[in-house]
Each structure stands twice: as C-alpha cells, then as structure tokens.
Amino acid sequence: MSADVQVRPVDEPLTPPFGGAQIWEPAIDAVYPYIERMSLLVGRWGFKKGELPEAEYRKLLDGRAQAQFERLMRENKMRRLFVPRAAVAWHSCRPEGDALIIYPHGGGEPIRQDFPRQQINEKLCISDFFREEGDILGCFTVTVGSAEATAELARMKEAGEYQDYFFWTGFAAEYTDAVAEWAHIRMLEPLGGRQGARFGPGYPSCPDTALTRTIAELTEAHRIGVKVTDSNMLEPEMSTSAILAHRPRARIFNRLV
C-alpha cells in the first residue's frame, strides 16, 4: 500500500446530546476560569518581560497586571458590560473526499463544505476527522458583545480614557475566546469530555470565511443578537464561531504547503 494512502480508523457511531440549535447563557463569572490569564496579561495587554529580571517580572505580573485583571472581572460582573451568550448546535454529516456534507437538523438542503488538504506532513484535511459512514457535527457561535458594550467602548475612546479602553478591549477579546472554550467543553461533556479540536473560519486549515455564515445559520446565531456582515464578519465584534471535530484524533494543523 502506498505511503500516501490515508487509512481511516474504525470510528464508533455516536448520538449527539441534542439535535438542532440551543441557546446557552452562562453566568458571567462561570466563564472566568476559562480565560487564559497569560494570553491576556502578556499577549493582549503587553506586560512583557523584556530585560526585567525574573523576580521583577513575576512581581509585575502578580501585582499591577493581576490587579487590573481582577478589577475588570469585578466591574464586568457588577456592570454586566460583557455578557456571555452561546448559540450551539448538533447536525448530522458525512465526509466526502475533502468535503463535509452537512444535513441540517429538521430538514433542508444538504450543505457541502470543502476544506483544503495538506500537501506536506500527514496530508491532513478536516474531513478526515469524521466517520465515513456518517457522523455528527457540532458548531457554535458565541458572543460577549452588545450595542451597549460597543457604545461604552466608543465613549471611553472619545473621552480620552485610552488606558481603560485598551484594557477593556483586550479583556473582551480574551473573554470571547473563553466563552468559546466553555462552549466547546460543555458540548463534548456528554461524549466523554473535551477532546478533538475546533476550527474557526479564516484559519489555514479552514480558510473559507463564508463558513461563518453557514455556522450562523446552523446555530441560529440571530437568537443571541449576532449577525454576519456582507464580508462574512460577525457583529458584534466580540464574537466568534467554530465547528467541532469531536473525535480524539482530531487536532489543529496549520501548514498546508
């Protein structure tokens, strides 16, 4: 057998926890444990080590940076500025070459979604992660945004409150990612816990941004106040979406050529 031939493992059939779309609204602080602290403090807020000695850098992170983090978590809970909402869904699907054929729950025309295949390494494609005989596809759209949050950020900027604006926008972006992780874990709990991988539209293994619109339709994202622009962007800005490849072998891969 040629080394280039991909042999799929034998996958057991699975029953989704529910069919179609549901709306989940977690408590604000229920999502806080899923915030990646270092990604926020270092990546979003720029508290980098630079030439600081390790002891001084640790003092900075655990002191001033952590104090800002805790302040924003307290204020967000009190003011309900960024409120997490998730539109989640399970639908039937089956792989067909480098595509997934999605069968919307409750009927409707099947949807074909094509994906690129690696030309190097393992020559992976997202469709490889699904059972040939038929499988289930999880997807979600999540947001922490609202018209009120957008207006408040605009007010900060216009009022010259640039530091607060900087901290809040970074917090909102990381909080959005935390809601995505929370939804991912909760969706897969009935199937044995967090496993596999999620793929967002626009990334190398899933570059078709039109998938954003498909996910929004499959999850009924309008029910949480999220819409898709003509350029396939989500509004409010503090929103994201993804499909779930739930099999344990599924994993993120980026290099395609």
* Residue range of the domain that includes 212: 20-28+83-245
| Cα distances (angstroms) measured from residue 178 to each of 36, 65, 172 | 7, 19, 10
What CATH number is attached to the domain comprising 236?
3.10.196.10
pTM, whole model, 2 decimals? 0.92
Q: How confident is the model at residue 4 (pLDDT cuts 50, 70, 90)?
A: low
Query: Is residue 9 over pLDDT 70?
Result: no
d(CA 187, CA 126): 19
- C-alpha to C-alpha distance for 161 and 167, rounded to whole angstroms: 10
Cis check for the bond before 236: say yes or no (omega within 30 of 0): yes
Q: How many domains are there within the chain?
A: 1
pLDDT digits (tens, 9 = 90+) for 182-226: 999 999 999 887 788 999 999 999 999 999 999 999 999 999 999
The pLDDT tens digits of the residues spanning 68-124 come to: 999 999 999 999 999 999 999 999 999 999 999 999 999 999 999 999 999 888 899
Q: Above 80 in pLDDT, residue 253?
A: yes
Range 83-111 burial, b when 16+ CB lie within 10 A, else e: bbbbbbbbbbbbbeeebbbbbbbeeeeeb
Tell me if 184 is assigned to some domain: yes
Q: Examine residue 251 and state whether it is found in any structural domain, yes or no.
A: no
Domain membership of residue 52 (yes or no) is no
* CA atoms of 193 and 149, how far apart (whole Å): 33
- Residue 8 confidence class, pLDDT cut points 50, 70, 90: low
For residue 7, being part of any structural domain is answered with: no
The count of residues in the chain is 257
**In this structure, are residues 43 and 113 in contact, taking their beta carbons and an 8 Å threshold?**
no
Q: Is residue 113 domain-resident?
A: yes
Does residue 164 form part of some domain? yes
State the angle between helix axes of 162-188 and 147-158 in degrees (0 to 180), rounded to the nearest 10. 160
**Residue 256's pLDDT band (boundaries 50, 70, 90)?**
confident
Please, what's the b/e burial string for 35-57 (b: 16 or more CB within 10 A of its CB; e: otherwise)? beeeebbeebbebeeeeeeeeeb
Residue 10 has pLDDT above 90, yes or no: no
pLDDT interval class at 7 (50, 70, 90): low
| In-domain check, residue 61 | no
CA–CA distance, 244 with 188 (Å, rounded to integer): 9
Q: Is residue 204 part of a domain?
A: yes
pLDDT at position 2 over 50? no
Say which residues have a Cβ less than 8 Å from residue 242's Cβ, sequence separation at least 6.
Answer: 139, 140, 180, 184, 198, 199, 200, 201, 215
